[in-house]
Amino acid sequence: MRYLIDPPAIPSLPVIGREERFPVRRVFCIGRNYAEHAREMGATVDASAPMFFCKPADAVVTDGADVAYPQATHDLHHEVEMVVALKAGGRDLNASQADDAIFGYGVGLDLTRRDLQAIAKAKSHPWDVAKAFDHSAPVSALRLASDAAPHAETRISLYVNDDLRQHGQLKDMVHGVTDIIVALSKLFELKPGDLIFTGTPAGVAALQRGDRFRAELENIALLEGRVGNG
């Protein structure tokens, strides 16, 4: 196959204990999946209708690289989230098929240009410019599901400059991992290489240039990084 221009590189994530990397096809996210976070944002949770949005695959930042402070904002917020990586997919999956599709788990930040999101909400516009910008999805190395899997009591936390900003347990999620995958498969054909950000607990706040962050999914994944100058 010959192309008129060089094709873009395939974004990928390291896998703990493996030399091969995980290629990223698409990044799905769920909003308002922790009730306390929804309340702090002045929103309500409709458990019957999960709310999804997407980020481009090349928004992923990995391998300890600095996260560039984005343009067009003065209010960059962190949202720590468990990340699920898929090795299989399909449409209209049942619960068993959804569980079998899981490759592994990581932890990431759904970075948000909160000021642009507020404008979009006020005008009933889509959130793309607030969520799907460059470098908006730093993600840790992945842990194989066969090596370690999270459970209801697993803690998720985020430290900024060694201060605890966010923390919670996975049992606080409105929609669990299996339910998220099943619901997504009713809207999209899922495929190997897809990532799913599973929502954030309360405590979201601003990041500044030069801040250092440490996100942890207890006993499974660790993400450390720094916000650059942009």
Q: Is the CATH code 3.90.850.10 the one for domain 15-226?
A: yes
User: Which residues of the chain carry a pLDDT beneath 50?
Assistant: none
Calpha distance 187→198 (Å, rounded): 16
* Residue 96 backbone dihedrals phi, psi, to 5 degrees: -65, -45
For residue 47, the model assigns a pLDDT of: 81
**pLDDT value of residue 121:** 93
* Radius of gyration, CA atoms only, the chain: 17
pLDDT of residue 36: 83
Look at residue 46 in the predicted model and tell me its pLDDT: 79
Q: Which pLDDT does position 10 carry in this prediction?
A: 97
Give the model's pLDDT for residue 230: 74
* Nearest one of 76, 46, 33 to 172, comparing CA atoms: 33
| pTM passes above 0.95 | yes
Instruction: Identify the pLDDT of residue 226.
Output: 98
In the chain, domain spans: 15-226
pLDDT of residue 35: 79
Q: What per-residue confidence (pLDDT) applies to 211?
A: 98
Question: What is the predicted pLDDT for the residue at 30?
Answer: 97
Using alpha carbons, list the distances in angstroms from residue 176 to 14, 39, 98, 99, 180.
Answer: 25, 19, 11, 11, 6
